[in-house]
Chains A and B, each alone.
Chain A
Amino acid sequence: GNSVTQMEGPVTLSEEAFLTINCTYTATGYPSLFWYVQYPGEGLQLLLKATKADDKGSNKGFEATYRKETTSFHLEKGSVQVSDSAVYFCALLSGSARQLTFGSGTQLTVLP
């Protein structure tokens, strides 16, 4: 079956530090990959996505590249801000499936 593995949190960084949150997946076929973000007290919002190998999704300074050879979709940001503090979820959608498979989420805290 499909599965998504994220690096365990929590992750605590200082403002302007570089961020990487690792995500690897197992899926049949050629999945689409997503990063969602959940700010405190809110639901999940789509942050970025990539639908085929070597695609790079980007939004709000965050980037992730779909690497088929390593089955990975790591999230990166060059300089984090306090406002980036949130929980980040990696997810995949595979083949004819209508539902997403989520990772367990990574809590990020950015200190001023």
Chain B
Amino acid sequence: DVKVTQSSRYLVKRTGEKVFLECVQDMDHENMFWYRQDPGLGLRLIYFSYDVKMKEKGDIPEGYSVSREKKERFSLILESASTNQTSMYLCATRRGDRGPNQPQHFGDGTRLSIL
């Protein structure tokens, strides 16, 4: 089974802090994704990476950055946290070399509160 591990289940930070959310996968998947989940809005893609040191913006990248220095780790960074970034953050991975129909595998999520 694919295991996607997010470093924290719950996190509380203050406005203006720099926040790091970490995601680690153990299946050598090429593609990794960061989403945020908000009631009534479903999942919205923030950033994704299809290989080490590669990244692409998703639908809502503003206020976020990412880092992928190693294949198994994909970090989401809130440069200066704001209250409207309070949300559930979900990391996902996907095998990239077997065509477009491969499913994504999700971590359990990090519920982030910005005070």
Partners in one complex: yes
Chain A residues engaging chain B, CB cutoff 8 angstroms: 32, 34, 36, 41-46, 49, 51, 89, 93, 95-100, 102-105
For the complex with contacts A32-B100, A44-B92, 14 further pairs of A-B residues with Cβ separation under 8 Å are A32-B101, A42-B109, A43-B107, A43-B108, A49-B101, A98-B31, A98-B48, A98-B50, A100-B45, A100-B104, A102-B44, A103-B42, A105-B42, A105-B43
Top 7 A-B pairs ranked by shortest CB distance?
Answer: A43-B106, A104-B42, A44-B106, A102-B43, A46-B103, A43-B108, A102-B42
- Which B residue's beta carbon lies closest to that of A32? B101
The A interface, classified by DSSP as helix, strand, loop or mixed, is loop
- Which one of A45, A51, A89, A95 contacts B43 once the chains associate, using CB atoms below 8 Å? A89
Kindly provide the distance from the CB of A109 to the nearest chain B CB, expressed in whole angstroms.
Answer: 15
Instruction: Answer yes or no: B12 CB below 8 A from chain A CBs.
Output: no
Contacts of B41 in A (CB 8 A): 104
Q: Are A99 and B42 within 8 A (Cβ)?
A: no
Give Cα A34–Cα B101 distance, bound, in whole angstroms. 10
Q: Does B33 contact A (CB under 8 A)?
A: yes
Q: Indicate if the CB atoms of A51 and B42 lie closer than 8 Å.
A: no
Question: Once the chains bind, are A98 and B101 in contact (CB under 8 Å)?
Answer: no
Contact of B96 among A44, A98, A100 (CB under 8 A): A98
